Structure 1
Amino acid sequence: MENEVSELNPLQDGNADEELRWRAQAFVGRSEEVQLLTNYARKAQQGEPRLLVVEGEPGIGKTALIRRVAEEMEGDFSLWWAACDPAEKDIRFGVLQQWARHIRVQATERPLLTGLTQGQTSGVSAVEAAGELLLFLREEAKRRPILLVVDDLQWSDEASLRVLRTLVRRWWHERLVLLLSCRPGKGAAGTRDGTQRWVTQAKHGRLIQLGGLSLDDFTALTRQVGQAELEPWAVRRLHQHTDGSPLYAHSVLAEASAEALTDTSRRLPVPHSLAGAVERQIQRLEPDSRKLLDALAVLDKKVPLALAAAVANVANPPAALAPLLSARLVKWWPDQPTTPLCIEHALQSQAIYEAMSPQQRHALHAAAAPLVDVTSSWVHKVAAVSRPDPDLANELEEEANQQAAAGHSVRAAAFLLWAAELSDARTSREKRLLTAITHVLSANYTLRDKALHDAARDCAPCPARDYVLGRLAVARSDFTEAERLFTHALATSDPDLEPQTVALCCTWLGTIHVWRDDVRKALPLLEKALQLGMPSSNSTDYARSMYALACSGVYGAERALQELTAQIPWPPQDPEQTALSDTALLRPRGIVSLCAGDYRKASMDLTVLTGRQRNGLIADVRANDYILLAKAQWLQGDWDAAMINAEHAVTLDANDGPLSRRAKGHAMAAVVTAGRGHWALAHQHHQTSRDNAHKSALYIDTWWTLWADAWISHAQGDPAATARTLLPMFHRNTGISRARMFSWLPLLAEAQIRLGDFDRAEDTLNELRTHTASPLYQLVSSWLTGLMAHSAHDHDTAQTAFEQGLVLPDLVAPLYQTMLRHDYARMLLQLGRPKDAIPHLRTVDNFYTDLGAAPYAERAAADLDACGATCHQRNSLAIHLTEREHTIAHLAAQGLTNGEIAGKLYVSTKTVEYHLSNVYTKLSLTSRRQLPAVLNESGVS
């Protein structure tokens, strides 16, 4: 009977031999779970017995996890291991018999227990056995604490199960840990609620419900067991396909070729073992149950029972459903009025769909089309057709145009690809195909479907084909070929007949010029693109962003703002009031505001933009938005938020190849970590930035790497290195360097002044003076004029300049204003006025310490010491917080829940819990309520 159950539940039991092979070689990740379990278990060393239950589906890695925990604890605990098996469920006290080698030592003193381990179970109750076992364990644990492991508890015999329950109820101060693994709804508790109840009844119990691997851990797994390293997007696709299951990932990686794993025109394969088990399972079903299951596979989503029954043409839906629920092929929600249901697992659904004949699929799709909602009906209409259908193709093209106008480029591409397949003429098919690829490129920047690559090359020569092939050349970093194709398309196209193709070619030819830092060539092309009009809102948004950057590089940010205001309908001054459909307008305004040094406005615009991306309100998610926001927040003095956004930008690797933002993201992370004195991490980020910039061959990426290098040198107090890094930018001083002048030119002038290179410093200041209209200029000018005058011993001029800067609003650029205040205080010290200097130094020290800017705070503290004052004593434990612990602690102190923190950082709630537990330990906290006060006291808030 047990074998029948196993075969009927392929997702519940899997292939045991394959799972054992996987366990032996492919354990990755789970560091948080391992640390959580080991930390909790080690408390038993003080006489607090612990019950730990790891619950999860087959193949999710329960056994591998408890083995790793056992390895971690092996040096301090005696390990007793038992593994249950369905073939041994009838062996009474089977768990105790597996523990026999540990129990035989005291055989003469515990005859009942010794007899049980030898199979003498007749007449022995579970209560007696548990009492005898507990007495023995109590004595043994005095010498060394014991870790009792029971793997696959759902297959435990009833007598052993009763012994374990009794043991947990009766232990008190023994140095014992009972570590169990089980599958949900089986064996140990009978139901999920029962598992939780058993844990909560224990004095110290903990339930870990193990889900799929995180994306990071899953990526590590694919590298360990895959045939070749997959691109990030392919790993994400496989992760979604398998729900993060290590076993199924291992199966797919072992069975599928590298081409199959990266071919987006086909579904990822179902593991052969699962497909075979599902096929055997559905062959046993009654006809109506099979029909209902097939209909659910065709519908491929959660639907009301009545809808599924109508598609399947089943007269008695409840009767057809019952066997599917018993076999755990289907899950349903009976507490909801429409009793919705769906197939238990996406892999099961795919296996069922693939097992159907083509005739069955066509018939079911045809039945579903008029019954489902309008959006869902399209896929069923297309799937129900088996020959060219020009009328349906025309309908699909019309729908694609509406989707593109609404900014849904990916959906527009899907409709056009369907339309192309149903077209009955080559010209219409190729036109739709090329337009579809254009929409894909508009949304994703790259084309990952090799079949579409080949199809585009096979199209007849035309400007649209040149554009698509030019974009493919961009994706492989062949800018010379891309420029040739875009130029040829512009020369052979008619703007009146093909305005959108011309606009796209202008946009991307202009983009290449921006990347090469030749913004004067780029600007007229981008202007023309916007005048002609783009085929989608995504394309328009991109062209506007590039135009904003090019305009700032040619004219300077102030004039660029005027030019853009005349051409683009700006959103309201309060970005929160921006209509959802106009959200993308915040991007070019944020770029220009950042270039103009209005970091507050840039931060406000980009915060709303990225917030709407994060909440799923807009689909156009760009890593660059998070990088620019991080930069604005850095200069605004919000370093925690800057690090969060820089880290998130690094994880958004959807844009591969030359359009990757990894060089920028790591550069920004290097700046923040260097500012906090985390030198090793800063240099690691900087090296990664340099490596990616070298691969991309784009000056814009090189600029970011140089900018980060300059700030690292600044944090280290090395003006010579800062000047060496930035001087080439000054001599170039066009395009990107000019557009982003305020983020690097003040550093160069400061370094030159500190080195005594006053002539060059004056040249640098003259360049800054071309931006006199900027509020930031007034602040920077006051600072550098004061520093220059002080260095020339003109203290009256220096004092006047410094004091003019101090009365400016600190919202302009708090970081620069604090640097001004620090130099002013140093001048006061040198003039013998320590009493006047001390208040300024305390303000500087507080600002830097609140940021966690250790190198800068140390310099302020040294100046305070020099005038006989001391900075506020800080908790020395704070310096031991990692960057991620610092960030999570900061957010928790603001009152955010673990779930809210997880959402903000794009991590799991368990990750937040793990890091917070480390923070509590390092800062000697017992309550979350202590965080704000302790963090303020320790200087990590």
Structure 2
Amino acid sequence: MLDRLIAAVRAGESRALLLHGDPGVGKTALLDHLAAQARNCRVVRAAGVESERELAFAGLHQLCAPMLDRLEHLPVPQRDALGTAFGLSTGPAPDRFLVGLAVLGLLSEVAEQQPLICLVDDRQWLDRATAQILAFVARRLGAESIGLILASRGDRGDLTGVPELLVQGLPEPDARALLDTVPTGPIDTRVRDQIVLEARGNPLALLELTRGWAPAELAGGFGLPGAAAPSGDMAALSGDMEENFLRRVAALPRNARQLLLVAAADPSGDPALVWRAAGRLGIGGEAAVPVTEAGLAEFGGRVRFRHPLARSAAYRSASVQDRQEAHRALAAATDRTLDPDRRAWHRAQAAPGPDEDVAAELERSAGRAQARGGTAASAAFLHQAAVLTLDPARRAGRALDAARAALRTGALDVTRELLAMAGAGPLTAVQRAGLDTMRAQLAFSTARGGEAPTLLLKAAGQLEAVDADLSRAAYLDAVSAAIFAGRLAGPGGDVLDAARAAVSAPPPPHAPRACDLLLDGTATGLHTGYAAGVPVLREALAAFRSGLSAEEQLRWMWPANITAIRIWDDDQWAALSARYVRLARDAGAFGELPLALTSRAHVLLFAGELASAAALTEELQAVKEATGSGLAPYGAMALAALRGEESAATAVIEATLEDATRRGEGIGITFAEGANAVLNNALGRYDEAMSAGLRANAYDHDPAGLCWTLAELAEAAARCGAAGPAADACDRLGVMADAAGTDWVRGVEARARALLSEGEAAERLYREAIARLGRTRMRVELARAHLLYGEWLRRERHPGLAREQLRTAHGMLETMGATAFADRAARELRAAGGTAHRRTTPARDEELTAQEAQIARMARDGLSNPEIGTRLFISARTVQYHLRKVFTKLGITSRSQLDRVLPRGPAG
């Protein structure tokens, strides 16, 4: 398999592979095999080191350092991000995923000259930043002549979707053959059988478990403690191996044990540093001889341990005092100018108790780490600084800073520990509010709802007397969190609770800004009544048109998009969603991008641009994989429902209901049941659609979540003859129509009321719906109005007029790709005596794969290959590879011809 991988890379393809298996099973030997076989390829290697897991980008620097001469060929933002991450330049902390794009681009640039093989061992010990970025790269390799092979013990981690090769133990005959190669002298048959049994085919165990035992022991007295562990349970094997290493360490002379401890305490492998530190402890070069003879470590161009368990044994077997002495010597031997952070870390490990001087040095190291984008390292330094701080107030403050950094890294358990430490000390009012805010953010990260709104409300209240602007921002965050939590909000965290608290927020100490107006309008609308909030919300959206920095716009763009939906302003929603995506992309704000793409995809869905919405949904999936976003798949769910793809829609709806319930994201239930209603209305199963609509609208505290579910309920209930639920849905739409007054909401209301009307009244309402919706960009709503009008005309025995409306509906829905609704229109058209003409030849762009179509549209719209690659998280070379396939399929020869074969839709 590995040989085929090498051949594919030589042939111009890219491959990623995860080798995983138990410790000692042979993963490193297989990487060595790859390196030996990779003739005519460039090979670069890196390995995770357990004690460097807190040093951000340490593993990535190992891998990329030999290739940094190609850094200048990357786009400037990527070059700057990678340079800052590696400490080659100064600047703000780089976005993690911009660094990922830079690494992908760097590898691709190197592979242009020669096929590239990247070998990464001990992935489980990589620092978090490196692990995330390599997973990001592994999933985006295409046609760059790159092989990325990672070896790891344990599970896949964040490498979902990457091909894997499980490396298992040797079969018994091979295990015995390997054991025979160990020069131990004759081994009693019973002992041999015991070794083979307990090693379970693990090559390193077969070799290591026989080392350090006297021939007499091997001949008749050998036996590991306890019975053999069950197959697959490597915990016992690792314990046995480490026990073996511990015995060998204990047998060394004291100066050899001290030397081994110094080497174990610093994972850099720098022999000069180890020998300088050893010299401070009075240890000479002769101490290395027994260490080498015992097969524990080698002292050459680098210090290398026989096995990680040997390092662990050397360190664990030492007393606390001996460890501190080793770290103190290493700190003294480390250059304070060239490597201040490693020196600070060793000083911290050497400290016998609280030490303000060391804590301050760690704090400075945290600042440097953060400037390089090393949030995890910053958190680790700050955590240690807090532990070494004696003053209670300073200790609490440092713990709070450490918690903030740890939360950004996703280390939720560490964040809880640090927040508890911070909460135990005296805090200022601002710090106390910050503590509560982080507790809320932690709750939101783990459960997307629950107690987060309540905690944010508490923080907002505490900030009222301290800083009005911070307080109001916290109130708006609390309202937004309560909207997400919806029906699953905890006690005191419902949207009405949040709104009740927010209406009494202190006024801004200046002229109201856009965010102030958003807070006041949203809180008033939820607390007092929908109509009361509309004027202020209109003013808020107007304030977003000018006078705000990009950072301010991005900070409040999600509630602004929700506000446009809340007041049924399709023009504002379209403009804001487009700007949201652009701001998030330009700023590299990949945390915001999932929300931005979700909002934009829904605009395109309502506009009938299902193909463009599908492209954004594909991009959204790539972003979610890259960022680990837990946002529910709202766009994919709505797209599948509108297309009428029953199996796909049902699967994603059921998964979303389960996931949203588990995480406390109540709004996910509303959207999932709304999609369920759309799907069943499209399929003509009105009883199921009504049931779903009733569930979607059962929680009605926030009208913004009901903008499209009410219309689905009205249609389904009317078709089922359930006049009560249908009329109730119409009345709720009427309240919003009277207050908002836009053509969108008035058109939807007229269409819903027409379903409950008869004769001239019904006809007038259908015509009003078509006229009003025709003035909006909501073309799906318009097509469905034509469909309902045509169905009504047929039942009123006006077949000629019915055919006209149904033919219009069918053509629009068929062109959009709303297949189930189009099929419904076709059935009605045939029943009215007409003929439904389905396209027999797919449009040219439909012959493309989803990714090819997405790339083709971006190229048509003028984006360069690097720009497309940045958006889709693939290399520019892979973009070019896909474009060549696009040109072949579409029968064209250049990008300039894409505009002719891929025309733009009505929504641009």
Per the normalisation by structure 2, the TM-score is 0.56
- For 1:573, the equivalent position in structure 2 comes to 545
What is the distance in 1 between the residues matched to 2:497 and 2:466?
25
| Counterpart Cα distance in 1 of 2:377 and 2:514 | 18
1:425 has 2:391 as partner: yes
How far apart are the structure 2 equivalents of 1:487 and 1:678? 41
Q: Paired residue for 1:782, among 742, 745, 750? A: 750
Tell me how far apart the structure 1 counterparts of residues 385 and 534 of structure 2 sit (CA, whole Å): 42
Question: 2:135 maps to what in 1?
Answer: 239
Query: For 1:206-238, what per-residue CA distance to the aligned partner results, in whole angstroms no more than 9, with x for missing partners?
Result: 98976689xxxx9xx99xx9889x999895255
Shift of 1:926: 7.0
Distance change >3 Å, CA 522–CA 24, structure 1 → 2:
farther
Taking a change above 3 Å as real, the CA distance of residues 695 and 787 of structure 1, as seen in their structure-2 partners, is same
Counterpart Cα distance in 1 of 2:270 and 2:155: 21
Query: Which of 618, 631, 639 pairs up with 1:662?
Result: 631
For the pair 1:602 / 2:569, whether they are aligned, the reply is no
Give the aligned residue type for 1:615. D
- Partner amino acid, structure 2, of 1:754: R
Deviations 1:483-528 (A, max 9, x none): 897899899x695469899879867776665414421111133456
Q: CA deviation at 1:779?
A: 0.8
Q: What corresponds to 2:337 in structure 1?
A: 364
Shift of the alpha carbon at 1:624? 2.8
Q: Pick from 135, 150, 163 the counterpart of residue 249 of structure 1.
A: 150
Amino acid at match of 2:749: S
In the alignment, the residues of structure 1 paired with residue 148 and residue 377 of structure 2 have an alpha-carbon distance, to the nearest angstrom, of 32
After superposition, give the CA deviation of every residue in 1:246-304 in whole Å (9 maximum; x if it has no partner).
7663158799999xxxxxxxxxxxxx9xx999858999xxxxxxxxxxxxxxxxxxxxx
Distance 1:554 1:703, change over 3 A: farther
Work out whether residues 641 and 676 of structure 2, in 8 Å CA contact, stay in contact via their aligned partners in 1: no
Q: Deviations over 1:557-577 (max 9, x none)?
A: 5533434567x69634379x8
Report the Cα distance in structure 1 between the residues aligned to 2:34 and 2:734, rounded to whole angstroms.
80
Q: 1:676, 1:855 within 8 Å by CA — same for their partners in 2?
A: yes
Aligned ranges 1:368-379 → 2 under 5 Å: none
The structure-2 alpha-carbon separation of the partners of 1:439 and 1:562, relative to structure 1 and needing over 3 Å to count, comes to: farther
1:734 maps onto 2:700 in alignment: yes
C-alpha deviation, 1:724, in angstroms = 0.8
Aligned counterpart for 2:716 among listed residues 732, 748, 751: 751
Query: Relative CO higher for 1 or 2, CA cutoff 8 Å, sep ≥ 6?
Result: 2
Shift in Å at residue 849 of structure 1? Answer: 3.3
Which of 850, 855, 869 is the equivalent residue of 2:820?
A: 855
RMSD between superposed Cα atoms in Å? 6.2
3-state SS of paired residue (1:249): strand
**How far does the alpha carbon of each residue in 1:454-479 deviate from its partner, in whole angstroms, 9 at most, with x for none?**
23323425673566556545544497
Question: What is the deviation of 1:398?
Answer: 14
817-826 or 238-247: bigger deviation = 238-247
Distance 2:598 2:35 in 1: 54
Q: Which residue of 2 aligns with 1:806?
A: 770
Aligned with 2:781 (options 794, 798, 816): 816
Q: 1: distance between equivalents of 2:503 and 2:367?
A: 30
For 2:533, the equivalent position in structure 1 comes to 560
How does 1:165-244 map onto structure 2 within 5 Å?
A: 235-237=131-133, 239=135
CA contact (8 A) 1:570 1:589 kept: no
Unaligned runs of 5+ in 1: 1-19, 38-51, 64-82, 88-149, 156-184, 187-191, 193-205, 259-271, 284-323, 325-353, 369-378, 534-539
Task: Confirm or deny: 8 A CA contact 1:693 1:705 kept in the other structure.
Answer: no
Q: Which moved more, 1:380-389 or 1:582-591?
A: 380-389
- Partners of 1:250 and 1:85 lie apart in 2 by 12
For residues 903-914 of structure 1, the aligned pairs below 5 Å read 903-909=870-876, 912=879
SS of equivalent residue, structure 2 residue 750:
helix
Q: Give the AA of the match of 2:766.
A: F
Distance 2:638 2:128 in 1: 25
Q: Is the 8 A contact 1:586 1:609 kept in 2?
A: yes
Aligned counterpart for 1:453 among listed residues 386, 410, 416? 416
Tell whether the 8 Å contact from 2:460 to 2:471 is kept in structure 1 after alignment. Answer: yes
Indicate the larger mover: 808-817 or 767-776.
808-817
Match in the other structure for 2:243: none
Note the C-alpha offset of 1:820.
Answer: 1.2
Counterpart CA distance in 2 for 1:500 and 1:824 is 51
Q: Residue 433 of structure 1 contacts residue 456 of structure 1 at CA under 8 Å; is this kept in 2?
A: yes
**C-alpha distance in structure 2 between counterparts of 1:937 and 1:869, whole Å:** 28
Do the aligned residues in 1 keep the contact of 2:331 with 2:347 (CA within 8 Å)? no
Question: What amino acid maps onto 2:601 in structure 1?
Answer: A
Instruction: Give secondary structure in 2 for the equivalent of 1:615.
Output: helix
| Gap runs ≥5 in structure 2 | 20-31, 43-65, 68-72, 74-110, 158-233, 236-262, 275-300, 302-326, 349-354, 488-493
Q: Distance in 2 between matches of 1:545 and 1:750?
A: 32
Partner of 1:686: 653
Q: Deviations over 1:712-753 (max 9, x none)?
A: 2233232222111011344x35223x2222211111111122
**Change over 3 Å in CA distance of 1:861–1:212 after alignment to 2:** farther
Mapped to 1, the partners of 2:902 and 2:766 lie a distance apart of 32
Paired residue type of 1:625:
A
Deviations 1:790-837 (A, max 9, x none): xx3x1x333322332333353252221221123334455566766656
Asked if the contact 2:454/2:478 (under 8 Å) is kept, the reply is no
- Of residues 629, 639, 645, the one that matches 1:672 is 639
| Counterpart in the other structure of 1:584 | 555
Contact 1:413 1:440 in 2 (8 A): yes
Taking structure 1 as reference, are residues 277 and 769 closer, same or farther at Cα in structure 2, changes over 3 Å only? closer
Kept in 1, the 8 Å contact 2:17–2:150? The answer is no
Residue aligning to 1:315: none
For 2:673, give the aligned amino acid: L
CA-CA distance at 1:707 after TM superposition: 1.7
1: CA distance, partners of 2:458 / 2:559:
29
* C-alpha distance after superposition, 1:136-162 (max 9, x if no partner): xxxxxxxxxxxxxx962469xxxxxxx
Distance 2:577 2:712 in 1: 25
- Paired residue secondary structure (2:336): helix
**Residue equivalent to 2:500:** 524
What is the CA–CA distance in structure 2 between the aligned matches of 1:520 and 1:863, rounded to whole Å? 44
User: Residue 551 of structure 1: CA displacement?
Assistant: 5.3
Distance apart, 1:553 and its partner CA: 4.3
- CA distance in structure 1 between the aligned counterparts of 2:818 and 2:850, rounded to whole angstroms: 12
Match of 1:152 in 2: 39
Quick one: distance in 2 between partners of 1:276 and 1:510?
A: 48
Tell whether the 8 Å contact from 1:471 to 1:482 is kept in structure 2 after alignment.
yes
1:145-191 deviations in whole A, cap 9, x for unaligned?
xxxxx962469xxxxxxxxxxxxxxxxxxxxxxxxxxxxx99xxxxx
TM-score, normalization by structure 1: 0.54
| Structure 2: distance between partners of 1:469 and 1:675 | 39
C-alpha spacing 1:693/1:248, structure 2 compared with 1 (3 Å): same
| Contact in 2 for aligned 1:560/1:592 (Cα 8 Å) | no
Letter in 2 for 1:735: H
- Alpha-carbon distance in structure 2 between the residues aligned to 1:853 and 1:494: 49
Cα distance in 1 between the residues matched to 2:463 and 2:902: 64
Give CA-to-partner distance per residue, 1:376-411, whole Å, 9 cap, x none: xxx8998999874599789979999x99xxxx9999
Q: Name the aligned partner's letter for residue 657 of structure 2.
A: R
Number of paired residues?
Answer: 642
